[in-house]
Amino acid sequence: MTLLEAILLTVITASTPLLIAAIGELVVERAGVLNLGVEGMMIMGAAAGIAAAITTGNSAFGVLAAVLAGMALAAVFAFLTLGLATNQVAAGLALSIFGLGLSGVVGAPFVGVQRAGIGRIEIPLLSEIPFLGPVFFAQDPFVYASFALVVGVSWFLWRSKAGLVLRACGENHASAHALGYPVLRIRFLAILFGGACAGLAGAYLSLVYTPFWTSGMTGGRGWIALAIVVFASWLPWRAAIGAYLFGGITILQLHAQGAGVPVPSQLLSALPYLITILVLVLIMRLRRGGAAGPAALGTPFVPDR
């Protein structure tokens, strides 16, 4: 039970940043925008978070700085894709490269600087339940926030008028505009929300997962978050399943390496990314090449003058 408990705790830790980033991107894509800059926003959130936390000595300021950094890059992406109607794929890729480079500059003074991680919140009585208590009721604030995001986004998209309007913008922006809805403003707010989630996921990496800074510490998690959105068919609760599936694969390959499985360590390290590719190919074959995403996803919108 102790080993199983330890494995579950590490799976939750590995899955949380994936889930937070995926939920943010899911909202962006539901609005009809394809943001491939999640990796850059995550790494900038990680760099800004650890820099602010070490400088001020306050982790709360670190989290705030990470969210603002993610939103700042998201605003740049919005300006390019909404204001100038540039290609969303090219803008997202450029932003990822830019974020990776800028984060190295911001985080350079803090390489190797140790900082105490953010503590866990133990729910009285419930956290004392054997096995279940430490796993479900004694987690850090980011874990609780990730589940709150899943519930909140699910309610917003499927139970609120604002969510219906946002989905309408992603399905047919011309019709939504004809009905008088501000398509560009809605997409801009969705992009900012996605950037905030990506920055928050980055803060988790540098303030909780490994409470120090190292260049490239996201390790491709932003790309996996993008894959999770497709895996989830743009549904929040499926995104949670996908995040924990890919997080579990990451942890299992680490345990396999520790157990001395006779497989090259490089292959085991690549396993999460190989599984991601295989799952996406399988999903597309099951859908016979059809896309279940929003009909206007990735299509720029320029209102009539």
pLDDT tens string 103-136: 999 999 998 787 777 878 888 877 778 777 878 8
Residue reference for tokens 């219906």: 164
CB neighbours (10 Å) of residue 292? 12
Amino acid at 220: G
**Could you give the CA distance from residue 47 to residue 42 in angstroms, rounded to a whole number?**
9
Extract the runs of DSSP E, i.e. beta strands, from 63-146. Answer: 121-122, 138-139
Q: Write out pLDDT tens, residues 266-280.
A: 777 777 778 778 877
Tokens 């998690």, residue? 221
* Whole-number pLDDT of residue 136: 81
CB within 8 Å of 49: residues ≥ 6 apart: 62, 63, 65, 66, 69, 199, 202, 203, 206, 207
**Cα–Cα distance between 261 and 264 in angstroms, integer?**
8
Query: Which residues in the chain land under pLDDT 70?
Result: 1, 257, 265, 287-292, 305
Delimit the domains of the chain by residue range: 2-117+131-286
**Residue 4 pLDDT:** 81
Count of C-beta atoms within a 10 Å radius of residue 274: 11
Phi and psi based region of residue 55 (left: phi greater than 0; alpha: psi -120 to 50; beta: remaining): alpha
The whole-angstrom distance between residue 170's C-alpha and the CA centroid of its chain comes to: 20
Do 43 and 97 meet the contact criterion of CB atoms below 8 Å apart? no
pTM of the predicted model, to two decimals?
A: 0.92
CB 129 within 8 A of CB 135: no
H/E element holding 104?
Answer: helix 88-107
Please provide the size of the chain in residues.
305
Per-residue model confidence (pLDDT) at position 101: 94
**What's the pLDDT score for residue 189?**
98
Number of C-beta neighbours around residue 285 at 10 A: 9
Cβ distance 297 to 187 under 8 Å? no
Alpha carbon 68 to its chain centroid, in Å, reads: 15
CATH number assigned to the domain with residue range 2-117+131-286, chosen from the 4 options 1.10.10, 2.115.10, 1.10.3470, 1.10.150: 1.10.3470
Rounded CA-CA distance 220/229 in Å is: 15
